[in-house]
Structure formats: C-alpha cells, structure tokens
Chains A and B, each alone.
Chain A
C-alpha cells in the first residue's frame, strides 16, 4: 500500500510533470506513437477489411494472415527489426502496425458480413452503385463492429507502446523500464498507472465518438427486428450473378 501511495505522490508532484523527462512530455510521445501507428494501421486494415467483406473474396487468406500476425511476439519482432534497421521510431511503428491491423481487419470484414444480404440486394435493385452500397449501406450498418475493431486495436497499441522504452525511445513505458532497472518500484508502478489511465481515457473518448458515428437506427439496435423476421431469400441470385459495378 505504501508503494501505491508513493507512486501517487510521484504522479501528483508538479516537479515530475514538466521537463523533457517529465510526465507530460512522455505522455505526448506515447500518444504520438499510438496515433501514428493507428493512422497507418487504419489506412491498411480498414480498406482491406472492407474489400474482403464487400466481395467475400480472400476471406480465408485474411483470417490466416491476421491470426498469424496476432501470434507474433511484439518484443522479439522489434529487436529483430532493429537488428536490420538500427534504432529509431520506424521499427516501433512497424510492430505496432502489425499488432493493430488484425483487429481492424476483423472488425471491418465481419461488420460487412453481418449486414443483411437482403438489404444489400434491395439497395442494388433500386439502383445504387457498388460504391454507394459500400459507403451508404454496408459501412453505416457495419459501423458498430468496425468501431469495435478500432477501439480494441487502439487499446492494444497503447498498452504495447510501452516497449518504446526498451529500444531507446521515450513514452510512458520509460517510467516502467527505468523503475525496473533502478529497482525504483514506485516509479515503475507510476508508469503502469499512467498507461492504464491513458488507455481508459482514450477508450472513453472513442466510446463517445462511436455514439456520434454509428447511425441512430443502428445504434438503437432496431435493425434486429427486420433482420430476424426476414424469410430465407433466394440468396444465390445476388451472389451468383453480382451486378456489373458502375461506380
């Protein structure tokens, strides 16, 4: 308990806040690594997931690759990359992107797969182009799952970005690693608390954002009624002979 109080004392001591090794500066670095990795991962993962979900092609390959990527040990991978490239932000971002892409992919393609086929068929039949179906029907309806993927990826990246401290970078992980190295456990604990607090705050912000992004009719869970009352459809027609796309 003493250790915990010591850690809190450290956190609330204004002397530890500012400066190049202060909490604020390391928090900003941590957010920078997270933001950059997530930006790259979103650009790669979401479009790929949407492509797989919309066309239904390449699903097995994506599942295999993303489960393999999930199994990669992040710490081992970052040292492996550093052996080739030398120290720097680059290797860190690469491993964080590899970590973040699988949940983003999974969210995007499973979100699209969950959209009622009849709804998509109807959208096509009334004259939406394939792009319009994707942007105006599939994505809004898949938004809860797409956003779920973003939230889970962000949390993993925030937690894992602590390894930046191991490879000569800063970030909140620095407190942890310095604390362990110096046997200053209050410092290590303070670092751990900071990472947890950051993760919780960011998740809360994303939860709020999700409420804004997810369409009203979907967020209220009102889609279920129509989906379940739907009788089995001659699904093959839409599947077998997809309309020529005309974006």
Chain B
C-alpha cells in the first residue's frame, strides 16, 4: 500500500507540479495516473522512489515513511520502467537485466541465470541476451526494461509511460503482456500514461488528474465511464463527444452474426455479437433491426439539435 499524505511539490523555478495530493494506492492492484502533459503525473510517480523529493507532505509504503531510509536502498527495492527503456547502451541485455541484483551483491552466475528466466517471463527469446540494447527493436527494448524492473522481485513496479514510444501494434502486445504478468505476479503497479484507453485497459484504480495533480476523479474504469464526475472528466474520457456511447449501425448490411457499432459521432467503433440478429442481454424479441432504428433515430435527432 502506498499512501500520499498532502504531498506538494514546487520546483525551484516556481512551477507547482503537485498541490496537496492525498491518495491511497492499494496493494497488488494497478493504479494508473492519467492526465495531459504537465499535469504532474510523472512527478507523482517519481516521488514514490524518491527521484523527486516532495516540498511538503509525506509518502508511506506499507506504513513506513519513505524519507526515513536511504534513497538508494528504496530505489533498489522498487522496479522502475521508463519510456525508451533507459537501458545502459554499453551493456548487453543480460547484464542490463542483472544490473541491480549485481549491485546488491548477488553472485554473477546466479544473477545471470535469473536474468535468463526473466527474459522468458517477459516473452523474449534467450538468444537476445547477448545483444546490445541498440540491436533490439523498440518493443523488445521495453520488454528488457520490464525484465530489469522485475529483477529484484520488487513488490512495487513503477511504470512511466513505458509504452509511449512504440507503435500501436507493439503497444497492444505489451499491454496484454503486462496484464498477463500482473495476473501471475500480483505486484503493486503504478502506471503513468496520457492515454485514457490504456488507463482503462490496465487500471484497477484509475486516477484522472488535472493541472497541479488535482484529482478530477478516482475509481474503477467502470465507475468513471458510467459516472464522469465533472465536465473535465467527461471530456477527457471522450464521453462528451459521444465517443463512449455506442450504437448499432443499421446502414451496414449485416453479414453473419456480428453487427457493426458506431460511436456518437458516427465513427465505426467495432462489432458486437448478435446471434440470429438478437443482441445478448437484450430481452427476447428485441431485434437488432428495431434497436438500430430507434438508436439511429436518436442520433439523427441529436444531429439536428
């Protein structure tokens, strides 16, 4: 459990990055800080491993104030994964993964053996262990970054926009991989992103932040989607533009048992199963054709208004 107690951070240049922030991040859950650039989300993350010290307030991990021990020891007990992997370019993949265990005095053979297992864990071929980071693709580098973050078997994993610099297909892959890892490993993950879809996909608890790390809303993705707390949240998650409100599109001829869904602006959002033309959960006799009619009427009216 990570607790923020009225944490404020003012940088020497006067920027108030975080103002009076209080929140509890539950253990063994993924908490996602999401917000636009400059909202202070990365500052919040970096205060957990004391890369940034708060100007006032305190942070506690499992009830112990993090400022009480040494910063280096704290950082070695927390996994950290950053954008662009942050791997050491002059060390091979395996040495990168084993860096922190070696610093902590683990024997080289043991550290390397464990690093090899971690490569398996994050879905990397062991052949890559003896390459240099620059010989890997961006997605592979991020996987190595995750493996390095897990190398000390930390309870807490901090992830600072780890998938921000890879292409969408690889990002998708990495997100699924992280969900699988989290399912197996059960870490307390703190994840920072500006992508609300990523936040909803990965987060057990999603924290939407405004400038100065002011909490706009905290909740599960479902709670936030169902009840945006403010216009800001509605706009941020796209609810105000109808992006989250899906409807069956009647203009597309149905093939098979899937029907096409469109969002409020009329863009195609995906398909939904409707065996025999009946939507699951819709009461017997509700036919997609009539449903589509009523929904499309509604959007037409909205368009006219």
Q: Which residues of A contact B (CB under 8 A)?
A: 116, 118-119, 121-129, 132, 137, 140-141, 215-218, 220, 222-227, 229-231, 233-234, 236-238, 240-241, 243-244, 246
CB-defined contacts of A224 to chain B, threshold 8 Å: 134
Other-chain residue from A122, A233, A246 in contact with B71 (beta carbon distance below 8 A): A246
Q: Can you give 7 contacting A-B residue pairs, CB < 8 Å?
A: A116-B89, A118-B84, A124-B75, A125-B82, A215-B90, A226-B87, A227-B89
B134 touches A222 (CB 8 A): yes
CB neighbors of A among B98-150 (8 A)? 99-100, 103, 132-135, 138, 141, 148-149
Q: How far is the CA of A213 from the CA of B100 in the complex (A)?
A: 23
Would A124 and B132 be within 8 Å (CB), given that A141-B90, A231-B165, A240-B12 are in contact? no
- Secondary structure of the A side of the interface? helix
Would A234 and B100 be within 8 Å (CB), given that A127-B76, A226-B89 are in contact? no
CB neighbors of A among B69-96 (8 A)? 70-77, 80, 82-92
B148 touches A223 (CB 8 A): no
A241 touches B52 (CB 8 A): yes
Q: Which residues of B contact A (CB under 8 A)?
A: 11-13, 42-43, 46, 49-53, 70-77, 80, 82-92, 99-100, 103, 132-135, 138, 141, 148-149, 164-165
Q: How far is the CA of A12 from the CA of B199 in the complex (A)?
A: 79
CB-defined contacts of A233 to chain B, threshold 8 Å: 83-84
CB-defined contacts of B138 to chain A, threshold 8 Å: 229
A237 touches B90 (CB 8 A): no
B86 touches A118 (CB 8 A): yes
In the complex, residue of chain B having the shortest beta-carbon distance to the beta carbon of A143:
B90
Q: How far is the CA of A137 from the CA of B95 in the complex (A)?
A: 13
CB-defined contacts of B103 to chain A, threshold 8 Å: 127-128, 132
Q: How far is the CA of A189 from the CA of B106 in the complex (A)?
A: 61
Q: How far is the CA of A229 from the CA of B82 in the complex (A)?
A: 14
Other-chain residue from A125, A127, A218, A246 in contact with B90 (beta carbon distance below 8 A): A218
Q: How far is the CA of A126 from the CA of B152 in the complex (A)?
A: 10
In the complex, residue of chain A having the shortest beta-carbon distance to the beta carbon of B77:
A127
- The listed residue with most B CB atoms (<10 A of its CB), out of A118, A122, A128, A238, is A122
Q: How far is the CA of A44 from the CA of B230 in the complex (A)?
A: 62
B89 touches A126 (CB 8 A): no
A119 touches B72 (CB 8 A): no
CB-defined contacts of A121 to chain B, threshold 8 Å: 51, 82, 86
A243 touches B100 (CB 8 A): no
Other-chain residue from A127, A215, A237 in contact with B100 (beta carbon distance below 8 A): A127
B82 touches A122 (CB 8 A): yes
B51 touches A238 (CB 8 A): yes
Smallest CB–CB gap between B70 and chain A, Å? 5
In the complex, residue of chain B having the shortest beta-carbon distance to the beta carbon of A137:
B88
CB-defined contacts of A246 to chain B, threshold 8 Å: 70-72
A217 touches B43 (CB 8 A): no
Smallest CB–CB gap between A216 and chain B, Å? 7
Other-chain residue from A122, A140, A226, A241 in contact with B11 (beta carbon distance below 8 A): A241
A217 touches B52 (CB 8 A): no
B165 touches A241 (CB 8 A): no
Would A240 and B13 be within 8 Å (CB), given that A118-B84, A217-B89 are in contact? yes
Q: How far is the CA of A246 from the CA of B82 in the complex (A)?
A: 23
In the complex, residue of chain A having the shortest beta-carbon distance to the beta carbon of B72:
A246
Other-chain residue from B52, B80, B90, B164 in contact with A126 (beta carbon distance below 8 A): B80
Would A237 and B43 be within 8 Å (CB), given that A217-B91, A229-B138 are in contact? yes
Would A140 and B70 be within 8 Å (CB), given that A234-B42, A237-B51 are in contact? no
Name the 8 nearest CB pairs between A and B, nearest first. Answer: A122-B86, A127-B76, A127-B75, A225-B134, A215-B90, A223-B89, A222-B134, A217-B132
Smallest CB–CB gap between B40 and chain A, Å? 11
CB-defined contacts of B135 to chain A, threshold 8 Å: 222
Using A118-B86, A127-B100, A226-B85 as known contacts, list a sample of 14 further A-B pairs with CB atoms less than 8 Å apart, ordered by residue number in A. A119-B87, A119-B89, A122-B82, A123-B86, A125-B46, A125-B75, A125-B86, A126-B148, A127-B76, A137-B90, A217-B89, A222-B134, A237-B52, A246-B72
